[in-house]
Amino acid sequence: MPYSPLLVKPMRDELTASGVEELLTAEDVDRWMTEGSGTALLVVNSVCGCAAGMARPGVRAALDEGPRPDRVASVFAGQDLEATARARAHFPDIPPSSPSLALFKDGELVYFVPRHRIEGRSAEDLAADLVGAFRQHSGAASEVPA
């Protein structure tokens, strides 16, 4: 059963404040998944403690450090049920978990962090993993500093 929208709003705002687009309907998800090429990070948000303590702060830190994916969006598991189900349909072989993080490149899933790889870690460690994946798939890893 979804929580009160009032309770969940700060958990949504924490990501939207970093420029993460909220996908509230299945149509939103379909549009976002097909609207462009390049790298795209999808955050499966959640009310649980590891979303608050690790996933959202880790995503924010990774986006701040960059290279930022071309597009970043979120669905909220347990709240926006239709949007979350449609998002998970884009990686049907992966068991559902939340929070979780999916990085796409040109529409193809290239990196995935399930809940159990978020639990018990620090936001800093998660951010470092994400930055590594952003660099690898954005091509930034091949750039040689001057």
Instruction: Work out how close the CB of 27 gets to other proteins at its nearest, in angstroms, rounded to a whole number.
Output: 27
Instruction: Work out how close the CB of 116 gets to other proteins at its nearest, in angstroms, rounded to a whole number.
Output: 4
Verify whether residue 48 is a known catalytic residue: yes
Verify whether residue 4 is a known catalytic residue: no
Regarding 96 and contact with other proteins (CB under 8 A), the answer is yes
| Residues whose CB is less than 8 angstroms from the CB of residue 90 and which lie 6 or more positions away in sequence, other chains included | 29, 33, 102, 104, 109
User: Which one of residues 8, 119, 128, 136 is an interface residue with other proteins (CB under 8 A)?
Assistant: 119
Q: Which residue has the tokens 């998800």?
A: 29
- Determine contact, residues 137/103, Cβ cutoff 8 Å: yes
Vertex 107: Cα angle to 32 and 114 (nearest 5): 90
Q: Which of 8, 24, 47, 48 is catalytic?
A: 48
Letters for 12-41 (x = contact with other proteins by CB under 8 A, - = none) are ------------------------------
For residue 83, which of 117, 54, 42 has the smallest C-alpha distance? 42
What residues are annotated to the active site? 48, 50
